[in-house]
Chains A and B, each alone.
Chain A
């Protein structure tokens, strides 16, 4: 069944302090949302590494999320944005957190007669900094060996971190998930070299990443630490640049 004609589910809007994205919005549609905000930069980070322009013309946000695969790049980004989803069926709509929607690898909470309608997340404040880092065998049209998405928000004086959400993919046997112990370690700290170093170390202690023909678990565990460092340094520059 082809849903692509349902233009009602193809939108990006700002409403009630949230950014709402219709499930049939294509990746290419998002690419055209030029905006200087932290969330737009975040989405842009992932979109420019997503498939190829040809693929982005057809691939939708909803399709990507519902695939619920362990290699998905958009899912870590939406997890870091604290996204929730809205589903739609004849008898009504449901809302749930993205974490709850993603039940297991290749399995979502959708009923047989239900579709994903919308993904939304709270509009980040001007004190937010985000970064998405992906490692693949080349730059484009490539599945991630591992990806990391980081969302940070600092206090009013732009010094201490008051919110941190870090999500990654390629976890062994799992869909992309947040790493809460690493997030907690960053709270109430300045994002300096010391904080970055200890976050990277903590991530190294935490993880079991998948092993497959593309890369070993050992390689991924080393690589993911580098990606987290790059993401945190990128956030640091965003914060300092403001």
Chain B
């Protein structure tokens, strides 16, 4: 077994700053309401001299303008669970562990070309999500966790691949990296037992008697003497994620950066499940205003963040937002099976069909659905009903053989006629016709016309007709372009 542990130091702070960092001092508070203490502080707050563990009241005195957020453990757990779901793309065994997640990667590292490349792509992925994490790799989950925590503390640790080497590698690491009770750690410190080297040299029975069997059991799990089974996180069959913006965002451009992070998370979670969606709901939350909802619909199952972002960008560009945005919420209810498409050197028919669908979607997203359409022949003799708009790309039947103009006017245009001869930039000479079209008496839109092909002296050729009922009334209906 090979475990990869991700530790997210100062997770509450990372959560607060994920929508984009801000230069204002920010601290996360925790503890009793009478005397809250600073759990973590951002760079600006640290520069002002605020240390972790001081009272919030003292912190306020240090920084002139301080933003204080209450810690929200449920949001943290929620975030870690979503991260575990996101990590499902790397291994089926991912779970929430401590202040981070743990992945079993022995079975899948070959797929990713070794653990070094795998951890590099996980690192990159975490960064795209907007998080900062340290990685530890070890044969037991607990050792991996200790390594990741050590790195978060600034102690450099190399990854360990062999179970026999764990004892040697952890020897010089401090004991406080373990999740042991404070009293136990304090008493060990009093005894001069500070590092793993010291405690592993002591007889196990003595430690169990003094500090309880839980301590020795966790040491055995750490070095692999005792099995440490974990339960994989099973994500719910839907996707939901929310990101809060550090400041009220005016306009749409400012939303694209946090939206990219949401979509990266979405793509990872979908990869882990082998799923995609045809519909995504994006909600923009405003202060004191109803949220703006935006539905993203796709004709095929999609999950690629870049493509969805391009569609969303066009849709957002058309929105008029009632107020500045304070948070983004992305949801997908129905997850569908996703068939991955290989990218080939020479794109085949399937890839082209995909390009086409995506092109039509992108165009329709900005221009509107009624502005992008296909055309087909309809089963009707009336020229205005002889064609129809189609959802782009549908099979069509062949047309008739009588001459038809390339362009048809939206509605026939009345022509000036002198002595019964129609004119359009010069007298029109009839060069073909008449072709009588009588139809539509059954639905009230009756036409009874004689169609001619006519050309003016400049050679411009038109499709014109004479209304049968109104003698001498000529209309222009088409252009032989």
Is B one of A's binding partners? no
A residues neighboring B (CB under 8 Å) = none
Q: Which residues of B contact A (CB under 8 A)?
A: none
